[in-house]
A and B are shown apart, each in its own frame.
Chain A
Amino acid sequence: MSTILEQKCPCCGGAVEFNTGVQKLKCPFCDTEFDITAMPEDTANQVEQISWNSQGSQWGAGETDGMSVYDCNSCGGEIVADSTTGATTCPYCGNQVVMKGQFSGALRPDLVIPFKLDKKAAKEALKKHISTKKFVPKSFLADNRLEEIKGVYVPHWLFTCDAIGNANYKATKVKKWSDENYDYTETSYFDIYRSGNIGFDNIPVDGSTKVPDDLMESVEPFDLSQAVDFNIAYLAGYLADKYDVTAEESMPRANERIRQSIIDSFKETVKGYDEVENQSANMNVANGLYKYALYPVWLLNTKWNGENFTFAMNGQTGKFVGNIPTDKKAVTKASLLLGAGIGALIYGLLWLIELF
């Protein structure tokens, strides 16, 4: 049995949305604004639990795995969604709905960073992102559907710990001198050892398999000082997922980043050498804690030449990322033209050198 929550306007009954400009819930129909705390999170009269009996053909075993069915409280339409979907829009009436069960009990996020930038800012950022890139195929620019950009709360695990580690480095010093007949180069090799502690706060690891990990790490960092205690009302107007990667499954990625941080941070204390190269490192963590948080991200998925391209914007800072296809013919043409130009320039200069 699935339950959904709609944030209704007490004045006109319309579905309210979280407004990034005023950082409050706002009714798009009568423009009434409400504080997040003023909207009860667990309002009994806003939650309905409807059970349905199946008729006709039945789903086969395993067919409904990963799928959930909800009923819209406004129009009664049936919403079929992924089992991890936490908030979405009713495809029949456009009302914003939140799957309350996805964020209750142990699944309740500890923190949420509310969206600071709206859809308009995201569309502008996408246009700017694409316009600053070169050799973008014209058909890709033409096919882009900016309207389909969506605000999504992406689940993240945040890891806090004290790391204890040690690292070995191979370092070299190079000394050069000359006499009348020879140039000398002396290379001295050193074995460097460093050990110590470093504290880390809230290292994020993507808790959703729907959004690529590299995309989420590319829009980092988020400012967690602006995070607030989770309130389901923040999800109104956006899509949201519950995690489908557990904290335990996310730990190896956090540990990998911590280990590399130890190597890089300790390396900065190795001074006075020309080259320093890491050889080995060991690490342990103490006082490890993790939290569950929802991060605001604007996402656009688009397909070009059978290949998927996903763009993401940090909904808090505005950092925009996304790989863009390259027009290989244009690259070849530009390389040849520029190369010929530089070649002519080099030849001209050599000719001038010869002349003078």
Chain B
Amino acid sequence: MRVEGKGLVDRERPVSFRFDGRDYQGFAGDTLASALLANDVRMVARSFKYHRPRGVMTAGSEEPNALIALGQGAAQEPNLRATTVELHEGLWARSQNRWPTLGLDLLAVNDLFAPVLGAGFYYKTFMWPRAFWERVYEPVIRRAAGLGGLSGAAALDRYERAFAHCDLLVIGGGSAGLMAARAAAEAGADVILAEEDTRLGGRLLAESEEVDGVPGVAWVEEIAAELAAMPNVRIMTRMAVTGAYDQGTYGALERLAPDVAERAHAPKGCFWRIVARRTVLAAGALERPVAFAGNDRPGVMMAGAVRAYLNRWGVVPGQSTVVFGNNDSAHRTVADLQEAGVHVAALVDSRHYARCDLDVPFYPGAHVCGTAGRRGLEAVTIATPAGETRIAAECLAVSGGWNPSMHLACHMGARPAWDADRLAFLPPEDAVPGQRAAGAAAGEFSTRACLESGLAEGLRAVRDLGLKQPEMSVPSAGHAAYDIFPLWQVPGKGRAWLDFQNDVTVKDVDLAARENFRSVEHMKRYTTQGMAPDQGKNSNVNALAVLADATGRGIPETGTTTFRPPYVPVPIAAMGAGAKGKGFAPERLTTSHAESVARGAPMIEAGLWYRPSYFPRKGEHTWRQSCDREVAMVRNAVGVCDVSTLGKIDIQGPDAARFLDFVYTNTFSTLKEGRVRYGLMLREDGHVMDDGTCARLGESHYLMTTTTAAAGQVMRHLEFVAQVLRPDWDVRMVSVTEEWAQFAVAGPQARDLLNGLLDAPIDDAGFPFMACGAVGVGGVAGRLFWISFSGEHAYEIAVPARYGAALFRELVARAEAMGGGAYGMEALNVLRIEKGFITHAEIHGRVTAYDIGMQGMMSGKKNFIGKAAASRVGLMDPERERLVGLKPVGAVKELLPGAHLFDESAEAVSANDQGYITSACYSPTLGHVIGQAFLRRGPERIGERVRMVDHLRGSETVCEVTGVVQYDPDGGRLRG
């Protein structure tokens, strides 16, 4: 319920929302949790395993109980903490892990079986039969236990990713963080102040105390306004820093304010990568509970959270409150509640020496040992030295002390150090380079100490950054000593919870210890302690203290589990923002793309490129019909194909010729200007890297072409050779793949077509086979090459890319007028298989020049990369699988790439393997299926028969071994 006159919510701005189908009202500035408490909704969730009623327990992102779901369908977001969900008009929230409803959850029957459902229950129970593990047990268990679910629909792309850079990153905008940020900002440093909450202030928003003689909130507003006015400060609220990584890099999840996120095109959140030269970790501390019987009942809350709900949101969770603790946080809670006129029924202080000057029933040296109430707290039982007492209460505020939030100091593997006075783990120093902790995160638990520590670390960062330290003083503030007495668990019957989110109790940890899971890491995995989405933020320390007790060791010897990112749950949709659909990978489109698509060509991906598969014409119903027609077109008339995707590298310099001699197996220094030569390139290990043509454009000017697939690899290789192997040579190179649009014009009428287009016609004498040179196309300076990948009289013509689209349209129109047209990748592939040319289907990385019958291209007169390795005996062994052609001669007339070859009479097992098929197609020119294959002693077996067996696709046929070149072996057509 609301308390008049308290809190920072805007009572002029009521907000309507819905939870589990019922309408409620809260105020602007509320969280879903504070609004539910204001409406006396105490039970908001069911627990993970036992389906026990659960209520709001904390006021921050560490909340273990109040998990809810928002949104419908693809927009559904499960497991959101009600304590961090900003209330906004029209918010619809639902509870999770209950069936059929939160009030009547039939799976609560699990709670009755709790005695047998302890840690390790599954491992011990669901052992037989083995076949049931995945098919029966797991689905049943998953249905009975769990958190919220995903919708099953693909997530809406409502996130974005971004980078930020700063001199100083301050993580946490409480008293320490504000002081650190201000000190650095005054010194002129570029500061990012990241605050997980919707507003700055940290605990100062939750407490009732003065700073610098004014209320804490007023002091925060003053500092925040100063910072906001400084151009070198970036205040980023709603920003949870989730991980610390190398080189001062931090991951952070930003949630946008609901009203901003609702705008058209606005993201819902942003995953940031922040690079900072220095970092101050001022993430504060989390209050820890105490393990006692029934400590999970709705109404049992952290004392600090009770103060936060009262002071920040003007809400109290019940008419009557009992406060229980082992430190002064309990007393402070009583004082705040009483000041607000809320009835406090008892103050139970486990410290036997404690004194109390408040007007409240006071029980020093006592413990809360039990609770009662069906769907919410109704009474607590107190164990005093004099005996047990039962007191009616709707709220029990508990404080077991504070745990500094030093997770981000431990993300690089360092372990925190135990402080026996403060009973807390403190952040290890210098465990993340450039990062230091300040304030409560460093174990400073008074406001004055936090302000001092924040200023000191801010100034230290200023010094480290090489800036002049500004004059700043520490404001006056409360400076009470932190007095705490060990209290982890209250002995007694009944289940006492440690990990509320995963339903792990003291009994489970004891059992783990008894069954010899004594290491904290083993205990964690056996009991699932700390493995829920909250990652044990408020339970890990308690659990290891209980484990320490159970194993007779101290807390420091027991140690902590490993801290790993993320600090708060991060939707995968945020980390992968944008990486779907068009954002999945860049698209490389040729200049002919639009025209090809307009002609109905299906596009296939070649790396990042998109290339036309075939160009369907009216009346063609299958790709084969189009492909066969396109092949015939090239063989009988003329075809046009965009080959711009092939890599083109411009190479110049006095040493260009010998550079090429060094990277190619064959010689290019002897190539005449204005001529093109086919070249083969090996890797250092003697295997084929790539092939292509290389043209000599001038005395010291070459133009290399690579395959589409290996363009990047070859460029990298050439750079490596130039920079590392032969830095003494003067050679310069640059990719011109994108500068030129290049088209193959292939077929008997290729020259006729071109002569109708070129500014000056060509003939055999002036432009012979394998010639290259400058041409004009309608006044545009282009390049022409007489080269062929189809086996026909063919040219490749290149123009600056801006003219690519126009030239392609022109070429295709003219080809069509001559009985030809555009052809795609399918026809291109058939044409080259007929002619016995290779692609990366053949030079797949494991073959040598010898394997593809090109050992003759390995020059004996010079050295080249890969020569030594390629000359090894094993790489020149006739027994190797070597390239041949194939045609089926059995009953089944098909060849399948990937199928293996065997001797006709041999059993088709791997020991008898003779080779494999790399490419196959139907040849419309030859009228039957043809293929290329690697076959043991292949070239020696031409005319023999082998058996193709495809175990995967269940196909088998007899084939005849042929030469690689199955069409026009003499090359008469090629030369026109």
> Is chain B a partner of chain A in the same complex?
no
Residues of B within 8 A of A (CB): none
Residues of A within 8 A of B (CB): none
